[in-house]
C-alpha cells in the first residue's frame, strides 16, 4: 500500500512502514483503522488510573502512544531510531522528554501558566521532539486533552471541524499556529485549540 502524507507529516521510513499489522490496501482503510484504534484508546485513557498517575512521564507518553496504535503498528509505543526532517535527533529523545515532563510538573506545581496553556505547551514541545515514527501530532493532542481531563477540565477542540489527519483548512491553520509557537508565541495555537470549546 502506498501511503500518502499530508503537509507537516513526517513520512515513515521503509522499516517502520513494514510494521503495519492489518492487511490493508487503501489509504482510506488505514485512516479508518487508525481512527478506530485511537477511539478505543480514548475510552481506555479516560478510565485508566495508571495513565492518570503516569501521563506526565516518559513511560506514560509511550504507554498512551502504544494504546493508540497497538492494533495498527508493531512499533506502537516505541521511539523512532532514525533521523527525520523534523524533531530532535533520535538519540536525544529520552533526555528531551524527561526535560519536558519535568517542566510540565514544575509549571503545574508553581502555577506558571493556566491549565489550558500548560496543556498547549506540553502538546507543542511533544510535537517538536517528535519521538515516534508516526502519530506524533495525534498522541500530542490526546496527551494535552487527557492532561486537562485529569484536572477535570473539558478537552481542547483543535479547530472543532475535523480530525486534522488529512489536508484541510483546519490543518493548515494548525500547522501555522505550531510554527508561530516555535518562536515562543502561543496565542494563535491557544485560540485554535480552544475555538468552540465547551466552557
pLDDT recorded at residue 14: 79
pLDDT at 119 over 90: yes
How is residue 20 annotated by DSSP?
B
pLDDT at 8: 58
- According to DSSP, the residues that pair with 45 across neighbouring strands are none
Total residues belonging to the chain: 199
Q: Are 13 and 133 spatial neighbours (Cβ–Cβ below 8 Å)?
A: yes
Average pLDDT over residues 114-130: 98
Q: Which domains occur in the chain, in start order?
A: 15-194 (1.10.3290.10)
| Tens-digit pLDDT profile for residues 133-175 | 999 999 999 999 999 999 999 999 997 655 676 677 888 999 9
Quickly state the pLDDT bin for 118 (edges 50, 70, 90).
Answer: very high
pLDDT attached to residue 4? 63
Q: Is the dihedral of CA 16, 83, 42, 188 positive or negative?
A: negative
- What's the pTM value of the predicted model, to 2 decimals? 0.91
- Over residues 29-52, the mean pLDDT reads 95
| Overall average pLDDT of the 62-85 stretch | 96
191 Cα distance to chain centroid: 18
Q: Using alpha carbons only, what angle is made at residue 16 by residues 10 and 17, rounded to the nearest 5 degrees? A: 85
Kindly tell me if the per-residue pLDDT of 103 is higher than 70.
yes
What is the rounded distance in angstroms from the CA atom of residue 89 to the CA atom of residue 94? 10
- pLDDT, one tens digit per residue, over 86-95 is 899 999 999 9
Amino acid at each position: 500500500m502506498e501511503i500518502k502524507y499530508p503537509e507537516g507529516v513526517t513520512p515513515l521510513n521503509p522499516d517502520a512502514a513494514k510494521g503495519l499489522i492489518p492487511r490493508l490496501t487503501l489509504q482510506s482503510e488505514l485512516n479508518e483503522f487508525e481512527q478506530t484504534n485511537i477511539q478505543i484508546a480514548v475510552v481506555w485513557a479516560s478510565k485508566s488510573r495508571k495513565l492518570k498517575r503516569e501521563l506526565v512521564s516518559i513511560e506514560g507518553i509511550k504507554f498512551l502512544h502504544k494504546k493508540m496504535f497497538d492494533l495498527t503498528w508493531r512499533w506502537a509505543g516505541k521511539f523512532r531510531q532514525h533521523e527525520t526532517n523534523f524533531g530532535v535527533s533520535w538519540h536525544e529523545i529520552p533526555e528531551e522528554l524527561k526535560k519536558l515532563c519535568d517542566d510540565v510538573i514544575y509549571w503545574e506545581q508553581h502555577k506558571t501558566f493556566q491549565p489550558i496553556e500548560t496543556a498547549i505547551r506540553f502538546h507543542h514541545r511533544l510535537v517538536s521532539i517528535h519521538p515516534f515514527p508516526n502519530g506524533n501530532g495525534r498522541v500530542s493532542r490526546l496527551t494535552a486533552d487527557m492532561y486537562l481531563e485529569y484536572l477535570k477540565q473539558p478537552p481542547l477542540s483543535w479547530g472543532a471541524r475535523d480530525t486534522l489527519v488529512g489536508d484541510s483548512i483546519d490543518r493548515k491553520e494548525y500547522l501555522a499556529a505550531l510554527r508561530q509557537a516555535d518562536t515562543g508565541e502561543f496565542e494563535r495555537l491557544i485560540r485554535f485549540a480552544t475555538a468552540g470549546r465547551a466552557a
